[in-house]
Amino acid sequence: MVAELPLPNLPLSMQLVWLIPLYGFSGVLLSLPWSTGWIKRNGPRPAAYLNLLVTLVAFLHGSLVLRQVWLVGPQHLAIPWFHAADLNLSIGFDLSLTNLAALELVTGLSLLGQVFALGYLDKEWSLARFYALVGFFEGAMSGVVLSSSLFMSYFLLEMLTLSTYLLVGFWYAQPLVVTAARDAFLTKRVGDVLLLMGVVALSAWSGQTEFTELYAWAASAPLTPLAGTLLGLGLIAGPMGKCAQFPMHLWLDEAMEGPNPASILRNSVVVTCGAIVLLKLMPLLLISPVATDVLLAVGAISAVGGALVAIAQVDLKRAFSYSTTSYLGLVFIAIALQQPGIALLLLFAHGLAKALLFMSVGSIIATTNCQDLTELGGLGRRMPATTGAFLMAAAGVTGLLPLGCFWCFGLLVQAFSAEHRSFAVVVLLTNLLTLFNLTRVYRQVFLGDAQPKTRRAPEVSWLMALPMVSLTVLVGLMPWIMARIDPVPGIASFSPGVAALVMGSGLIGVVSAAVVPLNKAWSRSLFKPLRTLQDLLAFDFYTDRIYRATIVAFVAALSRLTNGFDAAVVNVLVDRVGSLSMAAAGTLRLSVSGRMQTYVLTALVAIVLLLASLNWFIA
């Protein structure tokens, strides 16, 4: 399985597939002269162009490989990286249709997002730094989706954590950004450390890090139930953090403080990467039924909870970031219930549509400089392309019209209808709540009278409009694309009853949101119970406060305790002993006579005593 590179009979594009992640990483180096300020003439735009170019090359290279895989079938490439004793680490690429489709999604959306960013960050002084970070981001993601080894997936997921931290912290001078970046890093890091424990344990017990070999090892599973459970929980923690699942969902919402083009990628492809790693881990999780149950519980809570919290948000970006948590919850359920095909389709449909949704949100923010829902209104006629994009994204991401997610939901409900009724209900409920959320946002932003901030709202420049409109078309074509790449037997293989259920749930969502009163002046209800509920959801079930009161307080107290112990006990003891010895030396100093004879005598006595004791010791 491992090594034998280069495979002489493979086409060049496949042999050179290891270049694809490097394209993204090379963007970092290419941007350096501008991001460090060595080149100051003519602004930082050339860095952006170079990054766009390498991303385009990555996309084209990816499509070449995709075509080859279509022709010659899946391939596996491995390059030895580090070897010591019984440890073999290699850089492995799994060239399957799924992985390459995911790669094309990543590089394609990265390309569109970068063009969009050119417009959105038009006046940004540190544009080059942004592109360097996006290049890093894209390189890590391309590697994750192609990776065939757990070690390499972990390696790149951590790089993703780092680049998320830096991208969220892009505008590092703002206080909210600082806390957002911190939370993003630490939340993901908790998941990553748990995942690392899993990776290390798997590597130590099985001696392998390649997924295929791990599957074979897991099938024989020479593990105690406890070890298996802990291992399973460790392994799912990483993807949970990456996919912003409950209880590690906090960061995605706060990460909305970062620049919007990065949010586009984060809400579509970054979470997809996390889910793809989980998909690759799935056969290993069979050793641990508890881990599967936890996945289901986490997925269900995230799906419904995320959709509910989204409804109570007044911030335009946050209203949709919670919905990402919610959709990834559905993906988790699908993976836990052994529906990898549907999970992939859902990831694909959601990724494209959510990216489009965030592009339209970005357009609104760029035009109005406002992301408070209560201050927006009447944009429908003023920004037609943005409105179209929003509507298309909304249709694509939900199950009402027969676009992408409709078919996914149909398949999910059909698959769950036999044994897992309750999860079918979760899917329908999520659909209902998401449509409710989208409809209320649509009413607040695009309908109604123009507000002071939206009175003059021209459509965005072509740099933003072009990627947005292209993506609108793509989302519109989703059913057709899905039918072509379809990994399951027919995307329409569900009963009309199921279709009616999905559409019905969507319709209820739309209609109820259309009739519910939305008062801009009173965004918090005057009716006390309702207000309490609203606050509970608006503040995300007070998760951050709970964290602060529990885990953060715990670690802080422990560190204060350690430090106090260090200063009051260890150090004081040491000082005591130290001052004792200094005092003793001080006393001894007084007994020194200064006579040569005494010194010689003392030395002689000491030597005699020493030798005598030596003799006694050896004897």
The verdict on 612 binding another protein (CB under 8 A) reads no
What gap in Å lies between CA 409 and CA 428, rounded to an integer? 8
> Rounded distance, CA 413 to CA 7, Å?
44
> According to CB under 8 A, which one of 84, 473, 588, 596 is a site residue for another protein?
84
Closest-CA residue to 384 (of 439, 458, 456): 458
Q: Check if the beta carbon of residue 344 is closer than 8 Å to that of residue 279.
A: yes
Contacts with another protein by CB under 8 A: the residue count is 57
**Interaction of residue 189 with another protein, rule CB under 8 A:** yes
| Two tokens, residue 118 | 């050119």
Residue 548 binding another protein, by CB under 8 A: no
Give the nearer residue to another protein in terms of CB position, either 85 or 515. Answer: 85
* x/- letters, 24..53, toward another protein (CB under 8 A): ------------xx----------------
In whole angstroms, the minimum distance from the beta carbon of 203 to another protein comes to: 5
Q: Does the protein bind another protein through residue 83 (CB under 8 A)?
A: yes
Query: Of 521 and 619, which CB lies nearer to another protein in the complex structure?
Result: 619
556 binds another protein (CB under 8 A): yes
d(CA 371, CA 63): 37
Pick the binder of another protein from 200, 516, 553, 600 (CB under 8 A). 200
* Contact mark string toward another protein, 117..136, x via CB under 8 A: --------xx----------
Show the site string, 385-414: x = touches another protein by CB under 8 A, - = not.
Answer: ------------------------------
* Cα distance between residue 258 and residue 358, in whole Å: 13
Buried b (16+ CB within 10 A) or exposed e, 373-398: bebbbbbbebbebbbebbbbbbbbbb
Give least dist CB 484 to another protein, A.
36
User: Is residue 22 packed enough to be buried (19+ CB in 10 Å), middle (13-18) or exposed (0-12)?
Assistant: middle
Per CB under 8 A, 562 contacts another protein: yes
Q: Considering only residues 3, 485, 553, 555, which one is a binding residue for another protein as defined by CB under 8 A?
A: 555
Q: Least distance to another protein from the beta carbon of 277, Å?
A: 14
* Nearest residue to 93 via CA among 45, 160, 149, 46: 149
Q: Which is nearer to another protein, 485 or 570 (CB)?
A: 570
Residue 550 near another protein by CB under 8 A: no
Contact 48, 128 (CB under 8 A): yes
Interacting span for another protein (CB under 8 A) from 43-51, 95-103, 195-203, 509-517 = 195-203
- 574-597: burial string, b at 16+ Cβ within 10 Å, e else: eeeeeeeeeeeeeeeeeeeeeeee
Stretch that binds another protein, among 78-86, 272-280, 395-403, 424-432 (CB under 8 A): 78-86
197 lies in the binding site for another protein (CB under 8 A): yes
Binding characters for another protein, 165-184, by CB under 8 A (x = yes): -x--x--xx-x-xx--xx--
CA distance 502 to 224: 42
In whole angstroms, the minimum distance from the beta carbon of 193 to another protein comes to 4
Site for another protein in 563-582 (CB under 8 A): 563, 566, 570-571, 574, 578, 581-582
Give the nearer residue to another protein in terms of CB position, either 111 or 237: 237
Cβ–Cβ under 8 Å, residues 20 and 62: yes
Query: Which uninterrupted H or E stretch holds 481?
Result: helix 478-485
Residue 94, φ and ψ in degrees, nearest 5: -105, 110
**Residues 284, 363 contacting (CB under 8 angstroms):** no
Cβ 297 to another protein shortest distance, Å:
24
Tally DSSP H helices, then E strands, for the chain.
26, 2
The DSSP bridge partners found for residue 93 are 77, 147
Q: How far is the CB of 159 from another protein (least distance, A)?
A: 6
Under the criterion CB under 8 A, does residue 599 sit at the interface with another protein?
no
Residue 427 in contact with residue 412, Cβ under 8 Å?
Answer: yes
Q: Which residues bind another protein (CB under 8 A)?
A: 36-37, 81-87, 125-126, 154-156, 158-159, 161-162, 166, 169, 172-173, 175, 177-178, 181-182, 185-186, 189-190, 193, 196-197, 200-201, 203-205, 555-556, 558-563, 566, 570-571, 574, 578, 581-582, 614, 617-618
